[in-house]
Structure 1
Amino acid sequence: HNAGYVNGIKKIHDGKYGDLVCLQAYWNGGGIWWRKGQEGWTEMQKQVNNWYHFVWLSGDNICEQHVHNIDVCNWAKNAHPVEANGMGGSEMRRKQAGGPTQLFDHHFVEFTYPDGTKMYSQCRHVSNVFNRVAEYAFGTKGNGGMTDKGDVADVGGVPFKFGDYDQEHFALVEAIRKGTPYNEGHVGATSSFTAVLGRMATYSGKLIKWDEAVEKGSDLAPGIENFTFESPAPVQPDEDGQYPIAQPGLYNPFA
């Protein structure tokens, strides 16, 4: 729904860079908010209010935020990775977050596509360091960014009239008005699970296969369909008020 990406990806698919051999995805930025909550709230209320800092709610920043860059790379490649390995940690998160958190503050993942093409993915939440939010493609004929200038007449028959967010809503409303099928769920699910695959790799430090992750991946919030604000939260603070953070080498991605 973004004209720059629509143009850029089309040119990549038309051979602008030749056969793709490598992709890079970045969302390296500063920190994120932290919400204390109110006196008398249940643990579940506190976690839902402060949702970014709980893996069962946000998925960590690789899933909540960096997924957008990962999605663009999958789009450029017209595929999803079959395996991932990576590393990450929480060097500064607890010092800079403002309170207890479960999240890593950096992830680096090497994703491998079915034909062996690599996507190198970086995301980070650390203050006062180098930042970059972008995607790059490298091919047999050249390399560069994923966006390009130019007008877009239509996408899938839907006229391109507005900016990103308005165009997204316009496409949905047009489909409703005309009674035509409109479902981007598969793309969203595939990109989301690519990010989950990356998190499983960084949390565990292991090589994670897509098919194995689909078959055996863990449920971070069992019984979520019946949760209320009085339900026990899926994770609980320790005696110091801290929440568990994944430890590579010890974390079991299939538990």
Structure 2
Amino acid sequence: MKKDKASNSKNTRRDFVKNTTLLSAGMLLPTLEVGAMANVFENKKLKLALVGCGGRGSGAADQALQADDNVELVAMADAFEDRLTSSFNNLSEKYEGTGKINVKEKNRFVGFDAYKKAIELSDVVILATPPGFRPQHFAYAVENDKHIFMEKPLATDVPGIRKVLEMAEVAKAKKLNVVVGLQRHYQENYLKTLDLIKQDTIGKIVSGQVYWNSAGVWVRPRKPEYTEMEYQMRNWYYFNWLCGDHILEQHIHNIDVANWFIGEYPVSAQGMGGRTVRTGKEHGEIFDHHFVEYTYPSGAVVASQCRHQPNTMNRVGEAFQGTKGSVVTNDAGIAKIVDLNGKELHSISNSEGHNPYQEEHNQLFAAIRNNETINNGEYGAKSTMAAILGRMATYSGKVVTWGEAMKSDLKLVPDELSWNTKPPVMPNEDGFYSVPVPGKTTVI
């Protein structure tokens, strides 16, 4: 990672308040067997490892260090040395003199297998690599009895989803804490809104619209010295085996809110999408827009749209219509509920200083200290699957059911990777990558 990228991350995700209101949203589940606690609690110094040292991982490490007075970062791992070094330098600068950064040079691991060494040195691990690696890294952390914070999404293909669901059950049996970076579950205005929905304020939800429309994200230019593997790894967002397309990597947040508020996961999806603006060879194989219609077991239908097109309408948020009223939510901290005549019933906002990104870590470390358990693994995996289902629908142009999708053995991520591995997708002689074609592309 370049220095300016890391510095920008430091400004956007590190400067969060330490003390925020702890929410009791049913996420902290007391364990029954104190002796079954697989790792650490009470006053022991907690050893933290960071796997994935980009902006997201560095921000999560900073929040973890703020969440507990007796935690230290002891190991870091990344595919790229420059990205690890930049993250280490930024965190060291911020925490100079605190004793919270104790990552010896020998404990800064680089490469595809670096995650194993970092995880083995930790009590708590942050998993923030590109999501294609998440199932493998999560499984290793659970097998080694670590408490886990992992960023969304949790996989890019269905075999990965099945692995995450399997290991989430193992983590539950081991009483390991697993927090997933779907931070709206830790955000006050969403939690308060859900409470009102459960009180029948808007009646039964029958329809909804969820949005992630924005201008798009970064592109990192190809350099002559890059192998194809290094180029794709540095531009992971544009390759499905690493990212899963932006309907998964970003729009999962809004799809997850629909699943959460309705209390179900979709039974089917159909939709459309393509590339009309972001069409260069530097944009890999992903679409720049998706529109999906999700149908739920209750009969509710949710229209999902996400777009990466400059100079178009920006919107990130959700709206739901019920039999008695409707609700609008967004991550800016405001939610509104109105009745069928449009009269405002509730205006809901976050408390001053509340930050859900920080709250995720506050609750994770509080659970470890108090011998409680949080396990977000199942809903994290199923909301990831819902977004993959949407991608299957837009890429194929067909109606895809949850049941048939969950049986898919189509693997996007190779089992073994090295810098000499040929990536699963390759450019043609003109440098362009094959783009999914509705009606032709196989998705299951």
Q: Does TM, normalized by the shorter one, top 0.5? A: yes
- Please name the residue that 1:227 is paired with: 417
Instruction: Report Cα offsets for 1:182-234 as digits up to 9, x if no partner.
Output: 210111101100000000000000000001100125211232xx211221111
> What displacement does 1:162 show?
4.2
> What displacement does 1:150 show?
5.7
Instruction: Report Cα offsets for 1:62-107 as digits up to 9, x if no partner.
Output: 0000000001111101110010000001111115xx8242110110
Instruction: Report the residue type matching 1:118 in the other structure.
Output: V
- Please name the residue that 2:298 is paired with: 115
Is residue 238 of structure 1 aligned with residue 428 of structure 2? yes
- Please name the residue that 2:437 is paired with: 247
Question: Which of 1 and 2 has greater Rg?
Answer: 2
Task: Give me the whole-angstrom Cα distance separating, in 1, the residues matched to 2:409 and 2:296.
Answer: 20
> What displacement does 1:244 show?
0.9
Task: Give me the whole-angstrom Cα distance separating, in 2, the residues matched to 1:172 and 1:105.
Answer: 35
- Please name the residue that 1:22 is paired with: 207
Instruction: Report the residue type matching 2:229 in the other structure.
Output: M
Task: Give me the whole-angstrom Cα distance separating, in 2, the residues matched to 1:218 and 1:114.
Answer: 26
CA RMSD of aligned residues (A): 1.6
Moved over 4 A (4+): none
Task: Give me the whole-angstrom Cα distance separating, in 1, the residues matched to 2:245 and 2:201.
Answer: 34
Task: Give me the whole-angstrom Cα distance separating, in 2, the residues matched to 1:172 and 1:61.
Answer: 27
Is residue 81 of structure 1 aligned with residue 277 of structure 2? no
Greater relative CO, 1 or 2 (CA 8 Å, sep 6+): 1
CA contact (8 A) 2:187 2:350 kept: no
Residues matched between the structures, number: 242
Q: Secondary structure at the match of 2:321?
A: strand
- Please name the residue that 1:158 is paired with: none
- Please name the residue that 1:69 is paired with: 254
Is residue 149 of structure 1 aligned with residue 351 of structure 2? no
Task: Give me the whole-angstrom Cα distance separating, in 2, the residues matched to 1:239 and 1:182.
Answer: 49
Instruction: Report the residue type matching 1:35 in the other structure.
Output: R
- Can you give the 5+ residue segments of structure 2 that lack an aligned partner in the other structure? 1-185, 330-334, 336-346
- Structure 1 residues 131 and 150: CA distance shift in structure 2, 3 A: closer
CA contact (8 A) 1:100 1:241 kept: no
CA contact (8 A) 1:83 1:207 kept: yes
- Structure 1 residues 61 and 183: CA distance shift in structure 2, 3 A: same
Is residue 99 of structure 1 aligned with residue 282 of structure 2? yes
Instruction: Report Cα offsets for 1:166-189 as digits up to 9, x if no partner.
Output: 111001001111121221011110
Select the residue among 396, 401, 404 that pairs with 1:212: 404
Task: Give me the whole-angstrom Cα distance separating, in 2, the residues matched to 1:5 and 1:217.
Answer: 35
Instruction: Report the residue type matching 1:186 in the other structure.
Output: E
Identical positions, percent: 43
Task: Give me the whole-angstrom Cα distance separating, in 1, the residues matched to 2:291 and 2:406.
Answer: 21
CA contact (8 A) 2:207 2:301 kept: yes
- Structure 1 residues 235 and 9: CA distance shift in structure 2, 3 A: same
- Please name the residue that 2:381 is paired with: 189
Is residue 201 of structure 1 aligned with residue 400 of structure 2? no
CA contact (8 A) 1:29 1:132 kept: yes
> What displacement does 1:151 show?
7.0
Task: Give me the whole-angstrom Cα distance separating, in 2, the residues matched to 1:22 and 1:114.
Answer: 12
Q: Secondary structure at the match of 2:384?
A: helix
Instruction: Report the residue type matching 1:250 in the other structure.
Output: K
> What displacement does 1:39 show?
2.5
- Structure 1 residues 249 and 151: CA distance shift in structure 2, 3 A: closer
Q: Secondary structure at the match of 2:212?
A: strand
Instruction: Report the residue type matching 2:214 in the other structure.
Output: G
TM-score when normalising by structure 2:
0.53
Instruction: Report Cα offsets for 1:10-56 as digits up to 9, x if no partner.
Output: 11122111111101100111122111243222211110100001111
